[in-house]
Amino acid sequence: MLGKCITNVRNSVPLVHNITNYVTVNDVANVLLACGGSPIMSDEPEDVEDITSICGGLNINIGTLNKRTIEGMFVAGKKANEIGTVTLLDPVGAGASKLRTETAVKLMDELKFDVIRGNISEIKTLALGSGTTKGVDADVADAVTDDNLDAAVKFVKEFAKKSGSVVAITGAIDLVADGDRCFVIRNGRPEMGKITGTGCQLSGMMTAFVVANRDSVLEAAAAAVCTMGLAGEIAWSRMQDGDGNATYRNRIIDAIYNMDEETLDKGAKYELR
Amino acid sequence: MLGKCITNVRNSVPLVHNITNYVTVNDVANVLLACGGSPIMSDEPEDVEDITSICGGLNINIGTLNKRTIEGMFVAGKKANEIGTVTLLDPVGAGASKLRTETAVKLMDELKFDVIRGNISEIKTLALGSGTTKGVDADVADAVTDDNLDAAVKFVKEFAKKSGSVVAITGAIDLVADGDRCFVIRNGRPEMGKITGTGCQLSGMMTAFVVANRDSVLEAAAAAVCTMGLAGEIAWSRMQDGDGNATYRNRIIDAIYNMDEETLDKGAKYELR
Amino acid sequence: MLGKCITNVRNSVPLVHNITNYVTVNDVANVLLACGGSPIMSDEPEDVEDITSICGGLNINIGTLNKRTIEGMFVAGKKANEIGTVTLLDPVGAGASKLRTETAVKLMDELKFDVIRGNISEIKTLALGSGTTKGVDADVADAVTDDNLDAAVKFVKEFAKKSGSVVAITGAIDLVADGDRCFVIRNGRPEMGKITGTGCQLSGMMTAFVVANRDSVLEAAAAAVCTMGLAGEIAWSRMQDGDGNATYRNRIIDAIYNMDEETLDKGAKYELR
C-alpha cells in the first residue's frame, strides 16, 4: 500500500521549497532528487513568497535559524497556507534553546502545518509549549520503546489531534499519526544516528511524498519514514570492510534513488494502532 | 585543442573567489580542487574586496541570495572589474522570483562579466530583462534540441554580442558562444540532472578555466563544459549495481580529479557553428 | 599514549558547538560523529549562549564570517569562558583580508582559547597582530620543513606561552605545542590538500578530543592531529583506480569512524621536542 506513494512522487516530480539549515542542506537536496522530487532552497524574506508560489510543498527546518531566516519562515509559511501549498515543520533543537523553542512554537501557533516531524524530545517541547496543544499529556519517556509504546502512541495521536497536523516522531521505533491512527514503524538501523542529518533528509523527502499524495497525508508521511529506514537497511547490507559513516551516508541516498514500489511494499515494517 | 586548457589550470592553480549558494558550495570547492584550481568563499560585503583582490577569478552564483550577500556580490564585482579579475555570473533561478530576476539583471547591467552561465530559461530571462540586451530575440524554446538548434545558436550568439560576455547555456545540448562562434557540445548524461549542483560546480570550474586561459575565454569556457560532461560519462561507466546519485556525484568529481589533456581532447564532443 | 584520547572521546560522546563556515560544515559534523562526538551548529547571537551552555566545547571557525556570525562568535565565546566550556579558534584566512585578521586577533584578545589551530601563515598573522603576543618572533618560513624545524618549534612554543593556548600548526609537518613541549607530527598525505576542509574537520574533532581529555589538552590536540593524518594514510591505502578527491574525502571520514586506540597508538608518528 505504501509503495504506491513513492511511485506517485516519481510520476509527479513535486517541487519542494526548503528553508533549511546549512549543515545538511546538500543531502536534503540530493535525497529529494533521489526519491523523485525536485528541490529549491530560498530563505530571504523578499524571495520566499515567489519561490513558495511555484512549489507544491514547503519544508521548514529550524536547524541553523537566524533572525532573517526566521522571518523568511513566517513569510513563506503564510503564503503557503494562503495558496494551499503543503507545509512541513522540522523543529530541530526545540527544547535546546529558548530561541528554537519559541520559534517552533510560534510557527505552530501562527501557521498550519500538514506534517510536523521531529524526535520525541522536540515533539514533547512543542506539545508543552504551544497554546494550540494545551491539555496534551507530554509525560512520556525520552525514547519510544516497546515498554512505553502504548503511552507514546496515545501521546502522538493526542498531539496530532490538537495540532491538526500529521505528527511523525522518529527514533528507534517511529510513530506517524493523525488523531485516529498511528503507524508504528520498525525500519532503519541504529548506525543511521552516526550520520548528520538523516532527520533533515527525511523531512525534505516527506514533504515531497505528501505533495504527491495529498489525499492520504498520513500514509504518505509513513511511506517516507519507511523509505528512509529501509534505505538505511539496504545501504547497510552493502557496507564493506573499512567503510564508515561517510560511505553509509552515500549508500543511503543511493538506496533511495533505487527504491521502487515493490521494494518498499516488501520491506516496510509497520503496524497500525 | 581544448585539452590544453585543463593543463593550463593545473599548471597555474588559479585562486577563485566564490560568492555562491550554501546548497552546493562544498561540491564547488571540491570540484575547483579536482580540476587544479583553488577555492575561497566569502560573501560579507566588508570582506569581499580583499578576497577578490588576491584571486584570479570571481564566481557569482545567486542560488541562495540574501540582501547581505547581494550587496557582497556588487562590492566584489566592482572591485573585480576595477582590477581586471575574471568574472562569471551564474543566475540561478532567474525567472523563478522577482528578486532573483532583478538581481541577475542588475548585476549584468552594473558589472562586466567575462562569462555568463545558466540554463536556457535563466539566460532567456536575462536576455529579456536586461537593458543592455534589448533587441535580443529570446523567442527560443525552453530546451535546446536538434530541432531548434539553429534558432538557439542564433539567440546565444546575439545575446553574447549584446552583453559582451561569453555565454554558456547548458542542458542536454550545451551551447558556448561569443558574438561570432558557438561551440555546440554533446558531452554529459541525463542522470547528471539527478545530482544537485552540477551547474554550480561547472560555474566554479569554468571560472578557473578562464583565469588560466585568459587569451581564449571562449575555448576555456567550452573546455570546462566538455570536462564536466565527459566526467559525467566516465563516472557513469564506473557505476555499479545499487549505486545512485550520491555515488555518481562523488565519481564525477573523481573523474575531474583524474582528467588530463589527452582524455579531454579525445572525449570532447563538439562542433563549432 | 595518544590512543587513549580517542577512547575517551568514544566513551564520553562530547557535544561540540560549532560556529563554522558553510563550505565544510557538513564534513565537520560527520567527522565529529565519526570520532565519537556529537555536533551542534548555531551562529545566531540570540541562540548561541543557550547552545554553548549545553555543550562541552565550542569550535569557532571564521571561514565564511559575516557581521552577524562574528557577533555570535563573541557572545558564544564569552559564555564559554564564563562557564568553563572548552574553546578552540580556527582563524581561517587570517592574513588574507583585513576583516579576517582583525576578527581573529580580536577574538584572541577578548577570549581565552584552550587551543588555536591553523596553518603557519594564519598563526603567524595572529602572532604579529595580537597585543597579547607582542614580542613573539614570527620571522619563520611559510612552510614548516626539516630545514627550519628548530625555528618553527621555537616560534610555536613562544606563541603558545604568550597566548596561553595550546597551538597547533598543521601542514606537511604538524606542530602542536604548549609553552614547554612540542609534538612534531609526521602523519598525513599531501593529497589531503586536494580536499576542501580537512583543516576545518580537524578543528571540530580536536575540540571533541580536548573536551574528553581536559587534563591533557596538549596530548588531546596532538592525538586529534595524528588521528586525522593517520586516517588520511589509511584512506589512501584503500583508493582504487579512478578514485579522486571526492572518494578520498569519504574514505578519510570512514577511517576516522573505524579508528581505535590500538590503531592510533601504532600509527601515530611523532616526536616530542
CB nearest to A245's CB, from C41, C234, C253: C253
Q: Do C40 and A93 touch (CB under 8 A)?
A: yes
Q: For residue A9, give how far its alpha carbon lies from the nearest alpha carbon of chain B (Å).
A: 14
> pLDDT digit string (tens) for B141-167?
789 999 999 999 999 999 999 999 999
At residue C129, the pLDDT reads 81
pLDDT band at B134 (very low <50, low <70, confident <90, very high): very low
- Confidence (pTM): 0.96
Distant-in-sequence, close-in-space partners of A129: CB < 8 Å, separation ≥ 6: A94, A101, A102, A104, A105
Complex ipTM value: 0.95
Instruction: Count Cβ atoms below 10 Å from residue A260 Cβ, excluding itself.
Output: 11
Find the range with the poorest average confidence among A13-22, A87-96, C106-115, C138-147. C138-147
Residue B138 reports pLDDT greater than 70: no
* Cα A195 from Cα A197, distance rounded (Å): 6
pLDDT value of residue C27 = 98
Q: How far apart are CA A191 and CA B188, in angstroms?
A: 35
Q: State the smallest CA–CA distance between residue C261 and chain B in angstroms.
A: 30
Contact between A180 and A164 (Cβ < 8 Å): no
- Compute CA distances B40 → A22, B29, B200, B253, C6, whole Å: 18, 8, 15, 18, 32
Helix %, strand %, coil % for chain C, to 5?
55, 15, 30
What pLDDT score does B141 carry? Answer: 75
Mean pLDDT of chain A: 95
Cα–Cα distances (Å) from C127 to A156, B31, C88, in that order, read: 56, 33, 16
Query: Does C23 lie at the interface with B, CB-CB under 8 angstroms?
Result: yes
Compute CA A87 distance to the chain's CA centroid, rounded to the nearest angstrom.
Answer: 10
* Residue C134 confidence (pLDDT) above 50: no
Q: Which chains touch A (3 or more CB pairs under 8 A)?
A: B, C
pLDDT of A135 above 80? no
A128 CB-near residues (< 8 Å, 6+ apart): A136, A138
Residue A79 corresponds to which amino acid?
A: K
Chain C contact for A233 (CB, 8 A cutoff): no
Residue A220 reports pLDDT greater than 50? yes
Per-residue pLDDT for B130 more than 80? no
| Angstrom distance (rounded) from CA B218 to CA B201 | 18
At B22 the pLDDT is 97
Query: Any CB–CB contact under 8 A between C251 and chain A?
Result: yes
Span A171-189, mean pLDDT?
97
**Amino acid identity of B268?**
A
For residue B12, is pLDDT > 60?
Answer: yes
Taking the Cβ of residue A197 and every Cβ of chain C, the question of whether any pair is shorter than 8 Å is answered with: yes
> Smallest Cβ distance to A50: which of B97, B197, B244?
B97
Best CA proximity match to B224, nearest among B240, B239, B208: B208
Do the Cβ atoms of B99 and A46 come within 8 Å? yes
Contact A195 C249 (CB under 8 A): no
Interface residue A200 vs chain B (CB under 8 A): no
pLDDT for position A1: 82
Asked if C120 and C152 count as a contact pair (C-beta separation under 8 A), the reply is yes
Asked if A43 is an interface residue toward chain B (Cβ–Cβ < 8 A), one would say yes
CB contact under 8 A, A44 and B65: yes
The predicted pLDDT at position A142 comes to: 81
Distance CA B81, CA A184 (A): 60
Nearest CA in chain A to B196: A30
Neighbors of chain B with 3 or more C-beta pairs under 8 Å:
A, C
Local confidence band at A185 (pLDDT 50, 70, 90 cut-offs):
very high
Inform me whether the pLDDT recorded for C54 exceeds 90.
yes
The C-alpha of C263 sits at a distance from chain A's nearest C-alpha, in angstroms, of 13
A60-85 mean pLDDT:
98
- Most distant CA pair in chain B: distance in Å? 52
What pLDDT, on a 0 to 100 scale, did the predictor assign at position A214? 97
Q: Using CB atoms and an 8 Å cut-off, which of residues 137-166 of chain A contact chain C?
A: none
pLDDT in tens, C29-39: 999 999 999 99
Q: How do residues C197-224 score in pLDDT, each as one tens digit?
A: 999 999 999 999 999 999 999 999 999 9
Q: Which of C27, C65, C246 is closest, CB to CB, to B250?
A: C246
Looking at residue C94, what DSSP letter applies?
B
- The rounded distance, in Å, linking the Cα atoms of C59 and C52 is 10
Residue A134 is predicted with a pLDDT of 46
In the DSSP assignment, the letter for residue A241 is: T
CB contact under 8 A, A27 and C26: yes
Which strand ranges, in their side-by-side order, compose the sheet holding C270-272? C38-41, C15-19, C57-61, C86-90, C115-118, C166-169, C174-177, C182-185, C270-272
Looking at the predicted structure, is the pLDDT value of residue B57 above 50? yes
Chains in contact with C, where contact requires at least 3 CB pairs less than 8 Å apart = A, B
DSSP 8-state symbol, B97: B
The pLDDT value given to residue C130? 63
**Would an 8 Å CB–CB cutoff place A170 in contact with chain C?**
no
Which chain A residues are Cβ-neighbours of B67 within 8 angstroms? 44, 46
At residue B87, does pLDDT exceed 90?
Answer: yes
Predicted confidence at residue B98, as pLDDT, reads 96
Tens of pLDDT, residues B71-81? 999 999 999 99
Give the chain A residue whose CA is nearest to the CA of B247. Answer: A250
Partner residue opposite A66 with nearest CB, options C33, C44, C50: C44
Place B132 in a pLDDT band, splitting at 50, 70 and 90: very low
Query: Is 50 exceeded by the pLDDT of residue C57?
Result: yes
Q: Is the pLDDT of residue A263 over 80?
A: yes
**Predicted confidence (pLDDT) at residue A133 exceeds the cutoff of 50:** no
pLDDT band at C94 (very low <50, low <70, confident <90, very high): very high
A79, A60 Cβ separation under 8 angstroms: no
Confidence of residue A132 (pLDDT cuts 50, 70, 90): very low
Please indicate whether, in this complex, the C-beta atoms of C29 and A23 are within 8 angstroms of each other. yes
The pLDDT assigned to C142 comes to 81
Q: State the nearest Cα–Cα gap between C68 and chain B, in angstroms.
A: 10
Point out which residues pair with C38 in neighbouring strands. C15
Q: Is C8 left (phi over 0), alpha (psi -120 to 50) or beta?
A: alpha
The beta strand positions in chain C, using DSSP E, are 15-19, 38-41, 57-61, 86-90, 115-118, 166-169, 174-177, 182-185, 270-272
B239 in contact with chain A, both atoms CB, cutoff 8 A: no
Look-up of cell digits 527560443: B140
Helix (H) or strand (E) holding B61: strand B57-61
Q: Which residue has the cell 620571522?
A: C139
Of the listed ranges A146-150, B47-51, C82-86, C141-145, the least confidently predicted one is C141-145
A188 contacts: CB under 8 Å, gap ≥ 6: A172, A174, A228, A229, A230, A232, A233
* Interacting residues of A103 by C-beta distance below 8 A, sequence separation 6+: A62, A65, A70, A73
Mean pLDDT confidence for B184-190 = 98
So what's the pLDDT on residue C9?
98
- Does B21 contact A at CB distance below 8 Å? yes
Residue showing cell 597566548: C163
Collect all residues of chain B within an 8 Å Cβ-Cβ radius of residue C27: 26
pLDDT tier at C131, thresholds 50, 70, 90:
low
Cell triple for C181: 613541549
Contact C255 A242 (CB under 8 A): yes
Residue whose grid cell is 503507524 = A183
Q: Judge whether residue C105 has pLDDT over 50.
A: yes
Amino acid A138: pLDDT: 58
- CA dist A16 and B55 (Å) reads 36
Q: Tell me how far apart the alpha carbons of residues A200 and A90 are, in angstroms, rounded to a whole number.
A: 7
Contact A246 C238 (CB under 8 A): no
Of A10, A36, A1, the C-alpha closest to A204 is: A36
Counting one residue from chain A and one from chain C, the pairs whose CB atoms sit within 8 A come to: 91
Tell me the pLDDT band of B133, cut-offs 50, 70 and 90: very low
Q: Which of B22, B65, B249 sits opposite A22 (nearest CB)?
A: B22
